[in-house]
Amino acid sequence: MKMKYTKYAFIMVFLCVCSFALGQDESRDTKQHPELSKVVQSWANKLSGELWHFGQMVTRKDDVKNSFKDTTIVIEDGEALLNDIHERISNMMKQKVEAVRRIMDIAEQAAQAQKEDDIDFNYSFINSKNLTNSAPNVSGSDENELASTQDLRYDDSLVGSLQIEQSYQRMVSEEDRYQRDQDPSDVFIETDIEITEDELEKNPQASQTQPVDKTRLPLYNNRHFYNIPVNTNYSAVHVPSNVYERSKDVISGIMWSEELDKTFRNNYKIDPTLSWQYFGSSTGFMRQFPAMIWSQEPIDLFDCRTRSWFIEAASSPKDVIILVDRSGSMTGMRREVARHVVHNILDTLGNNDYVNIYTFSNTTDPLVECFNGKLVQANLANIRILKESMTDFKTEQIANFSLALTTAFESLEDYRDEKLGANCNQAIMLITDGSQYNYKEVFEKYNWDELPVVTVRLFTYLIGREVSDTREVKWMACANQGYYVHLSTYAEVREEVLHYIPVMARPMVLNATHKPNPTWSPVYADVTDPKLTNWLWVNRERITQRERYLMFSKYKDMMSPNEIDRKFVHQQKMKQDNYGETQTYHMMTSVSLPVYDKKPRQERVANLLGVAGTDVPIEYIQRLMLPYRLGVNGYAFIVTNNGYILIHPDLRPVFQGILKPAYNRVDMMEVEILDDDSEPRRFSKEMLEMRYRVIMQKRGNITLRVKSHLDDMARIHISKRYYYYTGINATPFSLVIALPHRYGFNRVQHPVENDIHRIRSNDKGQHTLTQFFTPGNWTIHPEWHYCRYLDDKHFFESAEEEFLYFLKKMEGPGWKWSRECDRKLIAKVVADAKMTVWFNENITTTTKEDKGAQLIKDYGIVVAFMATHSGFTRWQNFPQNIDNNLHEKHFHRIHNRAIEEVWYKRAIEHSYIDPGVYVYSVPHEIGEANNTLVTVSSGVFKEDGSRKAPVAVVGYQFYHQSLYNIFKKTTINCGDMQKACKKTCDSEELHCLMLDDSGYVIVSDNIQETGYFFGKIRSDIMSQLVDEGIYKMHRMFDYQGLCPEGQDTGSSGSKLLTPYFFLATILEWAVTTMTIFAEAATGNFYYDPALYQQTNEQYDDSTDHTDHNIVVSDHEEHEANHDYEHEGQEQVSDKAFDESATMQKTKPEPCDNEFYLYNLVHYIAKNESNSGYNKTMGNCSRPFIVQRVSGSNMILLVINNLCQEQKDRFPPSPDPQQIDYNMSLPCFMNQEHLPRRLYMSCINKSVNESEIKLCGSGTNISPNYILPVISMFSLFKYLV
């Protein structure tokens, strides 16, 4: 017993001694060394001086500023700028409307002229699905001549060289007619471009007679149509997969619509900026000009009748209530067909329509509980939730039709009385498998007050093959000016559902005095079907899963699962983020007009022949917005009558190459976010008032303080902005421009001697203008409108080649300015080029620094650049420092957008406050990568008293390794201390970093931390930096977010495989097989992606949201590799590896995210003394010293490594976090009704409609005895 107590006593004494020793050690190590603050200050000063001095030398910033000393500052008038942009866009839209009206007129005439005897069921037409390209492979003189004008190739090293000169001479010799006059003076004359045939005989496309073989056409790449091979003399026809192209109505329409080719061609000659022109028929086919091969990959679901341009032009806006029978008999195939009917009805609704769905048996209940008693706008988000909810209802009891109809009529009446919803047409869609009564008394009470006109149309869809009594259901539709359809198979649904559209259009057709107004669609993605989004997510996840599994298999015996997972995620992230993912969608708006059947008939009809329209690419509208006059950090945007964005720099419709589920319902208040303390979606009165005035097309202006993100949502910009707005007449659109505070109205004007014509007059040389554009080291903004041809004959590989070509023409005699050349912008570019031509001088050989060449080598600089307000960029390479083995894209390939580049915007903002500052940035979370480049930029202003106008940004890029070496070299010395210091950043006691103005690591003594948010490295210290006023934290919202909707994976245990389980599986297989066989045999097989939305193959949103895709730092990965390599690995079973290799299956859903971004607080000199910069490192309650690195956007942070991290302190992260509203996002958003403008004319009644007898169609059911026998035989064989 005594030994036991002695043992315990010894242990207690030992622990006390150890605790005392540790306490002494911590006290010793955390004690403040008096010299450390001075050392850190010395480091900051040395880094500041060295970096700033090198920046001045390599960018020659002072020389750039002196280049603009003769310019003057002028004030841009906001109202005048708004008017100029409005005029350009308005005139363009009028041109497009006139083109569509010509198509509409000719279509109505051609259809009226066609006779019954003219219909040829064997008629041959150009089918875009079966079309092949017969263009020769550049052989023969004519084809070679054509190709020579289309295939000019541009190379940086050849700009201004002999090859370009030869190309120029050849093109000039081909068309001396363009922009020539006999007036030798340089008087500005506005003139239009002459339209000629351009020797079409030489063009293989020139023949305007129909080709003999209509399956073959010569197709050539055309820049007006995204370089798609097209033939601009013919149109081609697309027929949906579910439409029989040889049916009488279809082939008849195809025949007479061929007359539209002449109109298409003439329209294109009159207005060469026209994009695709088309006529969409009510029978399903679409004739599109110019002819092209229709891509059927991955699957062709396109039907023009479900596109917004067709739907909105075909009829006035509508309120729709869908009633779905969920009685006990609506099971199995009936339920699936009913669901398919609902999906197809929803596909025909647009942003100007309102909808809700109720299911009924003995009770009537909303499909989505939070939509009860409401009609919700038929935008993509609401349509999506309604579709997905169609799998939730249960079939039971007996249907109470009276209650269901009463609920629908009363809901529509409420909206009618309150003038809510679409405030025009109203309709009920009844989906059932039969009714024994016609419920005449319900219709008398609610719908027959104004006979022969009814208030609400009723469309009935009778489901079921074996239904015999159809009389009551059909009567209900016919008695209420609707349409009756009998459906028994999946394949019939799409075609039969679409019959309701011409019925809704009847009042418009019957109104002979009504001239239809053009309809403009919301933004949409060219020919992509929105339903493909989920399919594409599934397909992408399968590919990613395969890549993941292959990687796990490859490294199974060499690395741990966590290491492999991190490696895979890093590869996927680099694949998506490297220079951005290719944009495969072309965003459009369309203008369209309905085409009516005006053929006289004995019996009253009101046929909608179809819709004529044309696309207007969003990028084309953006070019009309005069971006060079809006200036840096200024922009313009367009809003629809619903408050949704048509064009905005922050509209992000695509995520990882796939359209977002609700990409075109982004409200203007979701991208213009006030800098206030409001909760998400609690918009201020000022913003609500501005939104109301904008959508109501009022004219006015307002000043608001807003916050916006930039650099992939990693940084925040807070500023006051001046908004000017006005409506665009005869459209649903309103135009808004936003100009930044302080410098947003200030522009520079070049002296008169730098005008293009003055330069020509003063310099009698041969190359008066092009002499300022030396080969291979300049670019202009690739998307701005400088000068262009409108024909198809002239093709340029780049904006630089095109610009140089026109400059050469300007140097010649008789130049006249055309409407397609922006004289002011070109003059600015030429003046900028003239004043900065010296920038081409070699920095290495011309620098006045004694050790300039050595500094350039030591810093590893790869490029120095400057960009101006005119979109003009110059650069100078340093090939001696470039590692050619890295195969990196050159600077000008990535950063050629001047004022729209992030480094340009940031430099101007910082330099306005601190003129000498250089802004440093590195790629996010880049870690230890060999090829990491640091981008440095600084703004240049023209100053006149208190006014400052941004004119340019200078900068350079150099390897991060060089910055790391400079940082380490500086921080391992004692600086200006006379005696040796006890601690430097070379010791393990200190951790040293430089952070940028947003809290990201620019350089650290641990190089793996490069590019990471500092809050992820030391959250406690980041919190203290915020508390001490070094950084300011801002809460930001992303209302265009995507979040994964996790799927229930179920139990991991096995199911009890009873005989009943096997029997149910076999019966399910048999029914499915019989259905597929039957539909395939009748040619009615139809793919519906909705069928696949219920499988386990659902989609993962992104690598940023799922657990397996959490990105770890390269530092952590390095440690993991180190541990693995030196300590061995634990053997992992095959089962564990399979589980690790399997991805979590999710599906992307629209959501709102919140995140927190940080700004470095700017102190003036007199206030900095009271800030955290003058505090010293004390005990572990403040284990750091922070100093400004003046002349930059960085701070130097030195941390005591011996102090443990306080895990209970952490700042909110820049990583987005989903906002929980305690309900689905659509439910939350539909709590309030935001105002909208009814811009479309409402024609929903006609007394003559009662004379139309056609009100329904049914399925012709004929038994097929062979398929059941085959199927039963297969079933029997399977069972045996």
**815-830 pLDDT tens trace:** 888 889 999 999 999 9
Return phi, psi of residue 411, to 5°.
-65, -45
- State whether residue 748 is helix, strand or coil: strand
Instruction: Find the DSSP H helices in 156-296.
Output: 162-174, 248-257, 260-270
Contact 386, 357 (CB under 8 A): yes
Contact 955, 873 (CB under 8 A): no
Q: What is the pLDDT of residue 756?
A: 82
What's the topology of domain 304-523+1225-1257?
Rossmann fold (3.40.50)
Structure tokens at 950: 């941004």
Q: What is the pLDDT of residue 766?
A: 62
Q: Which amino acid is at 1146?
A: T
Q: What is the pLDDT of residue 490?
A: 87
- State whether residue 1065 is helix, strand or coil: helix
Q: What is the DSSP letter of 832?
A: H
Mean pLDDT of the chain: 81
Q: Which residues of 367-400 are buried (b: 16+ CB within 10 A; e: fewer)?
A: bbeebeebbbbbbbbbbbbbbbbbeebebeeebb
Sign of CA dihedral 157, 160, 165, 171: positive
Kind of pairing between the strands at 318-325 and 354-360 = parallel
**Please, is 112 exposed, middle or buried when counting C-beta atoms within 10 Å of its C-beta (0-12, 13-18, 19+)?**
middle
- Omega within 30 of 0 (cis) for the link into 452: yes
Give which of 236, 898, 965 is closest to 632, Cα–Cα.
Answer: 898
**629-747: CATH superfamily:** PAS domain (3.30.450.20)
CA distance 430 to 418: 24
Structure tokens at 871: 């979109």
Cα angle, residue 384 at apex, residues 378 and 387 outer, rounded to 5°: 100
How many CB atoms lie under 10 A from the CB of residue 225?
Answer: 18
Contact 876, 865 (CB under 8 A): yes
Tell me the residue ranges of DSSP E strands in 46-162: 72-75, 132-133
Tell me the residue ranges of DSSP E strands in 902-1046: 919-921, 933-944, 947-959, 990-995, 1001-1004, 1031-1046
Q: Where are the domains of the chain?
A: 45-70+840-1030+1161-1200, 304-523+1225-1257, 629-747
Q: What is the pLDDT of residue 971?
A: 93
Contact 242, 495 (CB under 8 A): yes
pLDDT in tens, 1018-1051: 999 999 999 999 999 999 999 999 987 644 433 3
Contact 73, 944 (CB under 8 A): yes
Q: What is the pLDDT of residue 469?
A: 77
**What is the mean pLDDT, run by run of 10 residues, along the chain of 1280 residues?**
49 47 42 73 94 96 96 97 98 98 97 89 94 72 37 34 43 41 36 37 54 90 88 95 92 96 96 96 96 82 90 93 95 94 95 97 95 95 94 90 97 95 96 94 94 93 85 94 92 91 90 86 74 56 60 54 48 40 72 92 81 96 97 98 97 85 94 95 96 98 97 95 97 98 95 82 72 91 93 86 94 86 95 94 76 84 96 92 71 92 97 95 89 95 95 97 95 74 87 97 96 95 94 97 62 42 53 48 40 36 37 39 42 55 66 96 74 83 93 96 87 93 94 89 83 71 41 45
Q: What is the pLDDT of residue 98?
A: 98
Kind of pairing between the strands at 1194-1200 and 746-749 = unpaired
Residue length of the chain: 1280
Cα angle, residue 901 at apex, residues 896 and 902 outer, rounded to 5°: 150
- The full 3-state SS of 16-60, as one line of letters, equals HHHHHHHHHHHHHHHCCCHHHHHHHHHHHHHHHHHHHHHHHHHHC
CA distance 1254 to 1273: 44
Q: What is the pLDDT of residue 58?
A: 95
**Global model pTM greater than 0.85:** no
Contact 959, 881 (CB under 8 A): yes
Contact 485, 431 (CB under 8 A): no
Sign of CA dihedral 1024, 1026, 1027, 1030: positive
CA distance 963 to 934: 8
pLDDT in tens, 1146-1192: 578 899 999 999 999 988 766 666 778 888 887 888 999 999 999 99
- Omega within 30 of 0 (cis) for the link into 522: no
CA distance 738 to 744: 9
Q: At what angle do helices 561-577 and 1114-1127 cross, to 10 degrees?
A: 150
Diameter of the chain measured on Cα atoms = 123
Residue 655: strand pairing partners: 658
Contact 1183, 1199 (CB under 8 A): yes
CA distance 635 to 966: 39
Q: What is the share, in percent, of the chain residues with pLDDT greater than 90?
A: 57
